[in-house]
Amino acid sequence: MIAHHFRFLVTAETPIFFHDFKGSALRGAMAGYLKRTYCPEWRAEKTEPLHQALCPICQLLSYELAPEGGGDIRRPFALRPPLTTQNVFTPGESFDFGLTLFGNQLIYFPYLVLAVQAAGEDGVGVRGENGRRGRFRIARIDAVNLLSGATQPVLAPGATTVQTATAPITHEDVFQAAQALKEQLQRNAMHLTVEFATPLRLIQAGHIVKEAAFFPLMKQIVLRVLDLCAQHGEGRPDIVLKRDIFPAADAVSPVADETRWWDVAGYSSRLGREQRLGGLIGKATYWAENWDALLPWLVWGEVVQVGKNVVKGCGVYQLS
């Protein structure tokens, strides 16, 4: 599988007031525009399987058909919300966020750019005294390799032409990053720290996981990567969790848990109700004698995010 990440730098044109979780507001504004503009079935309660299979907007946002190969439905993108704690932006101030596309599916990219532009024109966040949400314009777009840091300009400041530059994240990048991480771990007594930058919400056996246990985290990362490979990549790799992953994940011990539960609500227009987006944030440190079987998966997880609501920006983490 490969992934393409695009970073959007936007500048406020009128004051923007965000709630606590900016990802939900950005995703909501983008999704609303895409459905209204490109999906003729957006008002329908139930859409035909054929429409769902062909409509790029339904595939991006609300595809409901169970995958043929089993597993969970995985959207072809994830959102990396602005990681700043700043929630109010005055005109002229900028912030950035990212969108990651999974598989070689750049076909969706123009829709995402138009959606970001429309979200900026319609406005995002809380309505101000004039009844309008804060507006922004796109200042620049870069294709970014999240692992190597390589950056390619896609839309330069002031330009109106979008370049077809990409900076794909490949298996090769993941193995290189895993190797670099392994060397770091050896210098650090095999202690691995995972920093959860946005809420991590994992469901294990029907229950929400409220502490930073390693096993459910590892399991969900692997399941997600396998589903993404099956649904958006070149097919599901031949991995048997019980043989290839679980023994190594079981051998990982917790060292320090500095996470806390962050309860935050968002609105789901698809479900038509408020939705809990809360999850764990902060850092947790783990130890294992041998991380080799797990590192490439953990690195892929850094790229693809993990847990519930990744399309709204949840499940972003960094390894160190």
Q: Which residues sit at the interface with Zn ion, rule CB under 5 A?
A: 39, 41, 55, 57-58
Q: What is the torsional sign of CA 193, 199, 204, 210?
A: positive
Tally helices (H) and strands (E) across the chain. Answer: 8, 15
Distances (CA, A) of 292 to 37, 183, 213, 241: 47, 11, 19, 15
* Residue with Cβ nearer Zn ion (39 or 119): 39
Tokens matching residue 283: 């850092």
Minimum distance from CB of 61 to Zn ion (Å)?
8
Closest separation between CB of residue 38 and Zn ion, Å? 8
Cβ 51 to Zn ion shortest distance, Å: 6
Q: How far is the CB of 268 from Zn ion (least distance, A)?
A: 17
Tokens describing residue 80 = 């990396």
Closest CB to Zn ion among residues 58, 116: 58
- Of residues 46 and 187, the one with the C-beta less far from Zn ion: 46
55 alpha-carbon distance from chain centroid: 22
Cβ distance to Zn ion smaller for residue 43 or 242: 43
Q: Which is nearer to Zn ion, 41 or 93 (CB)?
A: 41
Residue 55: CB minimum distance to Zn ion, A: 3
Please give the residue whose beta carbon sits closest to Zn ion in the complex.
55
DSSP assignment of 70-132 equals: SS----SEEEE----S--EE-TT-EEEEEEEEESS-GGGHHHHHHHHHHHHHH-BSS--TTS-
261 closest CA partner among 189, 217, 317, 196: 196
For residues 213-250, one letter each, b for 16 or more C-beta atoms within 10 angstroms of the residue's C-beta and e for the rest, the string is: bbebbbbbbbbbbbbbbbbbbeebeeeeeeeebbebbe
Least distance (Å) between residue 28 CB and Zn ion: 17
Q: How far is the CB of 1 from Zn ion (least distance, A)?
A: 25
Identity of the residue, 58 or 304, whose beta carbon is nearer to Zn ion in the bound complex? 58
105 versus 220: smaller Cβ distance to Zn ion = 105
